[in-house]
Chains A and B, each alone.
Chain A
Amino acid sequence: MMKMKWQYDRFTNPMARARGLGSLQRGSHHWFMHRVVALVSFLTLIWGIFTLPTFLNISYAGFSDWLANPVNAVLLMLLVVSNFYHAVLNLTEVIEDYVACKFSKLTMLICLRVGVFVCGALAVFSILKIAI
């Protein structure tokens, strides 16, 4: 598999790189992707904060008209996918930090993923249903 240079070099400890060890050699990639997702989440959420709640004051028709615009629908789906995925990564960290019992930890991590992915699927389907 082709690797980009930054995937291995930018954030890896030099000794770990020399030995080819460390977090199954993917630890820095996970860290880096967490930040990339954070950046996309940030940009889309700021866009969302300043556009979405306007619809709290207007009708259903206004909201569906707005979502009928493909640009808005795609950006909203990007907001959902990016922020939901970021939420999974963050809450995973919280659970891993505080839940000591391995069985509860695994159960909570699985429930978190299933829960957020169900919400994500429902949200994306809803956007598409209104947009198309």
Chain B
Amino acid sequence: MSADPRPLSPHLQIWKWSLTMALSIFHRAANIAVAAGVVVLTWWLAAAATGPAAYDQFIMVLSSPFGKLILFGFLAAVYLHLFTGLRHFLMDMGYLLTIKTADQFGAAILLATAFFTVFTWFFLTGGM
């Protein structure tokens, strides 16, 4: 079955990037990244229910450098999605709709995401 031949929206490359546009795209990208956590969380719980050997294997994978990278990225995506989700909600309610407030809140979101991600990471790992 072929796709609907209606025209697509303009491609990303032709737009000059703005903060509001970037955050909208990041919101969706983070959404997909966080959703992948469904599989990891299920794996963790299923491994714990299976027994000590499966649990230790999961912990081994997640404590490897690659596992840590995944965890850190997951954390950043969670916080970004959380804050951009709040922004989505506020904009739905009619706030932050001037260019100035939208940009200011957008910058605050990026700073807050960086801060909370690093803070949580150090809180959890003790600075590893």
Contact = CB atoms under 8 A, between A and B. Distances in A.
Q: Which of A63, A80, A102 has the most CB of B within 10 A?
A: A63
Nearest to A76: B45
Contacts, number: 82
A38 B32 contact: no
B104 interface: no
Interface size class of B (residues with CB under 8 A): 35 or more
Interface of B: 1-4, 6, 28, 31-32, 34-35, 37-39, 41-42, 45-46, 48-49, 51-52, 55-56, 59, 62-63, 71, 75, 78, 82, 85, 89, 120, 123-124
Given A60-B56, A87-B34, A116-B38, 11 more contacts: A38-B85, A45-B82, A49-B124, A53-B124, A60-B55, A64-B48, A80-B41, A94-B28, A119-B38, A119-B39, A123-B46
Interface in A99-118: 100-104, 116
